[in-house]
Amino acid sequence: MTRRYFGTDGVRGVYGEDLTPSFVERLGRAATLWCGGGGVFIGRDTRASGPALERAFASGVASAGGNAVLAGVLPTPAVALLRQDLGVVISASHNPPEYNGVKLFDRRGRKLTDSDEEEIEQLLGAPPRDPDQGRVDNIEVALGSYLDHVLHRFGSDLSGLRIAVDCANGSYSSIAPASFEQLGAEVTVIGAKPNGRNINVGCGATDLQLLQQTVAKSGCDLGIAFDGDGDRMLAVDEHGDAVDGDQILAVLALDREVELVAVTRMTNLGFHRLMEEHGIRVLTTDVGDRYVLEALYEHGALLGGEQSGHIICLDGHVTGDGLAAGLLLCAALKGRTLSEAVAVMPRYPQAKENVRVRERRVSNAIVEEVERVNAELEGRGRVLVRPSGTEPVVRVLAEAEDEKEAKALSARIAALVERELG
């Protein structure tokens, strides 16, 4: 059995086209039936389509006899922490404003497994029950509860630190800057004026240029950028240079002296070399933060993440949290500049290409060529090809000791993907 609607991180699509209120209502009903009814805690990001989809999902919950609890705009990690029998986020994460989606967390605050999602899809055709059995409530205290928890578990004295904070015009717009200020930092704020149509547009973790310019212009010690729903965080050092999730995770792994860390296949080879030098075991998973989470829970580990900025610390949390990650990074500096802190990790040059395809798959010819190239490289680099879980593209990553070689490898394999699948 394969999933038709769920990708690597929930269900996503362009609002009004492949993601409609009627479908989301059916999804709400199916998810409520799957979890056995009870309380369904719902948050959303700042997209214009959010309120309509929030109401649709809540209607589906009520139609299955459940209790939908609407919390309004909340970061994804807040929903994971405050979930009831089910936690739901109406969000398309880092995607553009015209997209939206639905993310689900179980009663433990964990993302659903592939088999869980398959079971929900089997229930999409279920008819409504007696609507009088269910209800929809609104609450206003969720945001304060979440902030109290995160600041208590992950906060530290940030006095004297000058930070530029880019909220991506998303879920952290009203709370992240004030959180850093509360801990003593001097904060310059950008991307914190959501209007429903500007989430992730020219700002945030998907586009660091504005943050880089702001750090350079204002003389900040570092910049921190979130994505629209707050489960990802990237940084910019004092020189305006981008700092990715691999580098952030490397700094945290050494600072917290962990014995085990979980990453994905996209993680830079330089990270693996650094962890090997320090005797830290590395678990490598498929791409997607939920696979990193599964590995952490399975092995009883606390720290993991992705190059894209999903940073997970389970010491007082249940999922990846952009604000918590930003606070941990600031605490790990310990008087160093960010550029000094991340210099511990050598970075192999990487070249990436996204090839738009008719069908998200990888043909046998592509697999065979990738295997041949990787055998030739003998550990000096690698090529990785994978279908996107959220877009109609196949992603190509090439990594080598030399940037020119990485680009050549990437272009060669991308051309093959284009011929085979484009």
Query: Cα–Cα distance between 265 and 247 in angstroms, integer?
Result: 15
Residue 290 within any structural domain of the chain: yes
Does residue 55 carry a pLDDT above 90?
yes
More confident residue, 205 or 362: 205
Structural domain range at position 379 = 350-421
* CATH number of the domain within which 108 lies: 3.40.120.10
Are both 241 and 368 inside the same structural domain? Answer: no
Task: Compute the average pLDDT of residues 187-196.
Answer: 98
Are both 311 and 408 inside the same structural domain? Answer: no
Are both 98 and 160 inside the same structural domain? Answer: no
Percent of the chain scored above 90 by pLDDT? 86
- Which among 342, 365, 398 is the end of a domain? 342
Residue 22 within any structural domain of the chain: yes
Q: CA-based Rg of the chain, rounded to a whole angstrom?
A: 21
**Average pLDDT in the chain:** 94
For the chain, what is the domain count?
3
Residue 354 within any structural domain of the chain: yes
Find tokens 């700002």 and name the residue.
203
Are both 131 and 187 inside the same structural domain? Answer: no
Name the DSSP class of 13.
E
Q: Is 179 a catalytic residue?
A: no
Residue 231 within any structural domain of the chain: yes
Residue 1 within any structural domain of the chain: no
Question: How many C-beta neighbours within 10 Å does residue 174 have?
Answer: 13
Does residue 252 carry a pLDDT above 70?
yes
E strand or H helix at 14:
strand 10-14
Q: Please give the model's pTM, rounded to 2 decimal places.
A: 0.90
- DSSP per-residue codes, 86-138: EEEEE--TTS-TTEEEEEEE-TTSPBPPHHHHHHHHHTTTPPP--GGG-EEEE
More confident residue, 170 or 9: 170
Question: What pLDDT band is residue 85 in, cutting at 50, 70 and 90?
Answer: very high
Q: Given the DSSP bridges, would you call strands 242-243 and 281-285 parallel, antiparallel or unpaired?
A: unpaired
Could you give the C-alpha distances from 32 to 182, 187, 249, 330, in angstroms and in order? 38, 41, 36, 40
- Which among 105, 140, 175 is the end of a domain? 140
Inter-residue contact 314 to 35 (CB < 8 Å): no
Are both 25 and 159 inside the same structural domain? Answer: no
* CATH number of the domain within which 400 lies: 3.30.310.50
Over the stretch 127-150, which tens digit does the pLDDT of each residue have?
998 767 899 999 987 889 999 999
Task: Compute the average pLDDT of residues 168-175.
Answer: 97
Sign of CA dihedral 37, 41, 45, 46: positive
End-to-end Cα, the chain, rounded Å:
26
Are both 114 and 192 inside the same structural domain? Answer: no
Does residue 1 carry a pLDDT above 70?
no
Residue 20 within any structural domain of the chain: yes
Task: Compute the average pLDDT of residues 143-160.
Answer: 96
Question: How many C-beta neighbours within 10 Å does residue 138 have?
Answer: 11
Are both 173 and 286 inside the same structural domain? Answer: yes
Are both 157 and 243 inside the same structural domain? Answer: yes
Does residue 195 carry a pLDDT above 70?
yes
Query: Cα–Cα distance between 54 and 58 in angstroms, integer?
Result: 6
Maximum CA extent, the chain: 65
Inter-residue contact 76 to 91 (CB < 8 Å): yes
Are both 354 and 392 inside the same structural domain? Answer: yes
Q: Cα-flanking dihedrals φ and ψ of residue 268, to 5°?
A: -60, 140
- Which among 309, 342, 375 is the end of a domain? 342
Could you give the C-alpha distances from 208 to 194, 227, 234, in angstroms and in order? 17, 11, 8
- Sheet containing strand 222-226, edge to edge, reads 186-190, 162-166, 222-226, 233-236, 242-243
Are both 325 and 301 inside the same structural domain? Answer: yes
Inter-residue contact 366 to 385 (CB < 8 Å): yes
pLDDT of residue 392: 83
Residue 392 within any structural domain of the chain: yes
Does residue 231 carry a pLDDT above 70?
yes
49, 59, 91, 93: the catalytic one is 93
Residue 125 within any structural domain of the chain: yes
Are both 354 and 415 inside the same structural domain? Answer: yes
Could you give the C-alpha distances from 134 to 124, 130, 166, 421, in angstroms and in order? 18, 8, 39, 47
Inter-residue contact 353 to 396 (CB < 8 Å): yes
Over the stretch 270-327, which tens digit does the pLDDT of each residue have?
999 999 999 999 999 998 899 999 999 999 999 999 999 999 999 999 999 999 999 9
Length of the chain: 422
Q: Cα-flanking dihedrals φ and ψ of residue 189, to 5°?
A: -110, 135
Are both 163 and 298 inside the same structural domain? Answer: yes
Task: Compute the average pLDDT of residues 409-416.
Answer: 92
Inter-residue contact 272 to 290 (CB < 8 Å): no
pLDDT of residue 208: 98
